[in-house]
Amino acid sequence: MADPVHVCLARLVVSLLLAFGSFAASAQAQDETRVTVRVLDQQSKRGVALARVVISGPAQRLGYTDATGSVTFDGVPAGLYRMTLAAPAYQLGRAQFDVHAGETVAVEATLVSTKLPAVIGSVTVHSAPSSGVTDYGRTGAVRKTNDSLPDALRFDPNAFVGDDGSVSINGAPASSTAYTLDGIPLGGGGGPGFDARRINADLFSAVSVSQDPTNGGTAGSVDLRSYEPTIAFQSALAARFASNADSSLSSVVTGSTGNLGYVLSGAAQGRNGALAGQRFFDASGSDYVHGDAAFTGGLLAKLRLGLTSTQSLSATALRQNTRADETCADFGALVPCGWGPGVGDTSSLALAGATYTGVFDRLSVLAVPYARSERYDENLLGRSSFGVPDPAAATVASVTDGVRASATFDATDRAQYELATSVSRTRFTSNATDGASSSVTALDRLFEDASLGVRLRVSNALTVRPGLRWTRADTQSHASTDLSATWSPRRTDTVAVAYAPRRYGVSTAFRGALAAPASVTLDCAGADALATGGGDASTDPATSQLRASWQHQGKTVRTIISAFRAHLVDALIPGYVNAAALAAGEVPPGYAAAISTLYRSPMGCDAAAPLALSDVLVQQPVSIPAETTAGFSLAASARVGRSLLLVPAYTATYARADALDARFAAPRSVLVPGAQLPGIPMHRWSLVADYRRPSGGPEAILTLQHVGENNPSRLPGYTLLGAGLSLPTAHGTIVVSGYNLTNRFAGAFASPVDAVPLATNAGAPFALLARPLAGRRVTVSYDVAVGRGVAARAAATTSGLPDEAERNTVHRFDIDSLPATAPPLDEGLRDDPAAPSCVPEALRDADPILRALRTYAAALANAPDRAVVPAPRISGVTIAYHPLANGYELLFDMDRRTTLAVGRCGHFVYADRDDAQRLALGARPDLKSWQLDFRYEPRFGLFLVERAGLVTTGRGPRPPLPAAPPADPFQPVASAACTSAERPAVATLLQQLAPLLAGA
């Protein structure tokens, strides 16, 4: 039996804190994060059409701007990105920007004509909360009210999670779903059973579901994303405790030093089942305290090195261990099922991979080598069933190594060639024993895949991509074609169609034997039993998918309507076979008599009549010669007012077997040609309501989730209610959430209560046990984020930008006067995070600017000819170098965002008008009224020259107070600073002010 959860947690807490590498959730990632780039001509400010935009970071995206100069990228993971812009007759542009999870990012970039002198273009980045249809980021509304990966995925309209933690996509078998981490294969896709419940979701920032076929995942994949390096150091710690004694501790550290970014996250998670700590007599023949606990701990490390502005190399390593009690929770006989104390299982997952990305003019390259090992050990040597020893043990291990690579070449502005290839080798080993004999199964698989596609921009609205694919699995190879098209008649509407056939000629399951009679589940009320079989072997699985979708982006509503149809050949599904229909060699001698004896025993059903073999249903992987799945989904994200976000979704799925073998023609078969396959509900819907004021403060969440009949739990259709309240504090966030608040179909045991029988082709239905849902659970979590750039994020405005009123107000800063001696280089150009005005969003923008300026100033200091040193390309800043008799000065032309960032978080000094006149600094008539006159000289550092409208409250010198009150304090005084244009307005204001202060 596993140790109590709090003991397991204590063992890992020390190591997590020493490494300070665990995570809380400082990011809010989702699979619908959107980046919109608008490219403008620097002089005319008009959009530049057909500009090539490449963004490179955690993911690579390439696109071309439309007639308005805009291009949109969907599904962009959070992280630091480098952007390259190219357009005919324009100079090449480069910039970098951050994508924060859970936000829609708008990037406005300017390009300079090749006919003009070389100057630096500008880039402005705006962030706003994303209204994506699905959000499974760590701090998203779904994850706040559902603290496990399977629970969060149940809100995806295209994915369905079974009771065993398996995930099926669009009604396809779960064996055809693959799992990836940052594009690196994690497992699944027909290998040893992959249980999503064993993935410690706290290690990752987000999860999304892809419907694109991959190697090992003909239906699609579940894609996990790790945290990404940040510019400034950030760290977070999160703790969670639930009313059922579930608990977890996690932390994350991100940051960068120079061109090297880093991530270190760790998580420990303990879960308790409904039977944990309960003492009762069960079918093992013992009266004991039952263990029903599971513990998972893991660490993830990532390094990303920026080789150049368009090349990066990253390395990722993951290690996760799980230990769990094995508990039988069936109560269909006279005595609850049980296996005795001391039985359990362990599993481990190790992954290492590297990712290289590079952009060379018109060529983009990606290479990902990786290695992965999995191991699952089941120890049931102490198991007893119906009072009879029933020992068993099993080990399943796999080792995989491979590489995937892709290249994209922009042949012309309207034609793009895409080449991708992958090679992987997996070695499986299975070792099983029943205490008397053992068996060993070994498989060695080789996958090779290559594809060539051409993306053709037929017009600004229509893009077509035909493709060729070659696949080899072991000794069998197949070639296929695919076709996709995207049509955007308006910027608000996108229609997409895709057809993709896939074939993988390789066995996708281990062939095993029928489980021992003592392991059957009896149902006395229905007079039947459920056994576990070895399963079929699928030798040549194939699928062909046709998908279509329409997406509309309104002012406050985003809608996605999608439809799918897939035809599967030789696919494995979790099905049922009547034991009487099994081949003679598959049923051991005396098997039927042994089950009947257990059925008639006092700990069984104590029945007088025997149990026939036709009353036994065998649950096992079943190979379907032909299967069709079809359906559609409706999803939306609607903003109601400024504070309420509604995310409804509906899915209809139809899955049927078009052809079955002779086994299913026997009476009482639950698989019927043309009928809905068991365990796949036809109707599902969900609703998420998220209320949060734009100015911040508490967040209220309400979730509803409905699953129709024919669900894997064999329950009637049900609706689950969840709710959550997020309370930001000065040092973190407290979240109180509730799951299944109505306690719908809750219970500890699977039983005949509320069970929906499985219909058969002939004869009585099978009244199998219904598995209860997890009961009402209240969870309290506390997230603490520390470090630069995160502490005050919750208190800032939702977009992280000042509102319009703030942008138009007079700026006030607390600054010092010019120094008497020249400051060191690091002191003259640095940020000041302790300044009251330095909010995290401003620090995030100011830090890379000041670092680039320090590098530039150091280069100037060491250069024999300063005039030839190229100025750095900094987004939002234009730099002008001016030589002086005693050195040089740098003049800056900054956009609004950069001005606010440097003004709030930069360490600079102040030159008033007297200083400007004394030093002959000169005026800047080119600056706009809202711009600040920032300059740099080595003898002063970064300094601000006073302009009209700027008021300082700094510690610099102030005019002395008069010795006596003036005779008329409301008359303007003669001053060179008071211009003739300003004097009438000042006189009017003073006259209006005089009556108000007459009695003072």
Q: What is the DSSP string of 922-955?
A: ---TTS-TT--EEEEETTTEEEEE--TT-EE-SS
- Separation of alpha carbons 209 and 26, rounded Å: 22
Structure tokens at 616: 């036994």
pLDDT confidence of residue 105: 77
Structure tokens at 536: 């079929």
- Separation of alpha carbons 297 and 320, rounded Å: 6
CB 852 within 8 A of CB 879: no
pLDDT confidence of residue 945: 87
pLDDT confidence of residue 118: 39
Residue 344 burial (C-beta neighbours within 10 Å; 0-12, 13-18, 19+): buried
pLDDT confidence of residue 685: 96
Residue 22 C-beta-side C-alpha neighbours within 13 Å: 24
Query: What is the CATH class of 34-129?
Result: mainly beta
Torsion of Cα atoms, 841 then 846 then 852 then 855, to 10°: -120
DSSP string for 125-141: EEEEE---S---STTSH
The bridge status of strand 877-884 relative to strand 887-894 is antiparallel
**Using the 8-state DSSP alphabet, how is residue 962 labeled?**
P
327-381 pLDDT tens trace: 889 999 999 998 889 899 999 999 999 999 887 777 888 899 999 998 999 988 8
Q: What are the domain boundaries of the chain? A: 34-129, 141-784, 804-952, 970-1000
Structure tokens at 916: 């400007």
Q: Which helix (H) or strand (E) holds 34?
A: strand 34-41
CB 939 within 8 A of CB 887: yes
Q: Which residues of the chain have pLDDT under 50?
A: 1-32, 117-122, 126-135, 190-193, 507, 509-510, 788-814, 949-958, 1000
- Separation of alpha carbons 529 and 514, rounded Å: 14
Rg (CA), the chain: 33
Structure tokens at 926: 């080119």
CB 686 within 8 A of CB 706: yes
DSSP string for 561-620: EEEEEEEEEEEEEEEEEEGGGS-GGGS-TTHHHHHHHHHHSTTTT--SSPPPGGGEEEEE
pLDDT confidence of residue 444: 85
CB 347 within 8 A of CB 330: no
CB 746 within 8 A of CB 740: yes
pLDDT confidence of residue 63: 78
pLDDT confidence of residue 137: 61
> Helix or strand or coil: residue 482?
strand
Place domain 141-784 in its CATH homologous superfamily: TonB-dependent receptor, beta-barrel domain (2.40.170.20)
The bridge status of strand 816-817 relative to strand 93-99 is unpaired
Structure tokens at 222: 């579940």
SS (H, E, C) 677-739: CCCCCCEEEEEEEEEECCCCCCEEEEEEEEECCCCCCCCCCEEEEEEEEEEECCCCEEEEEEE
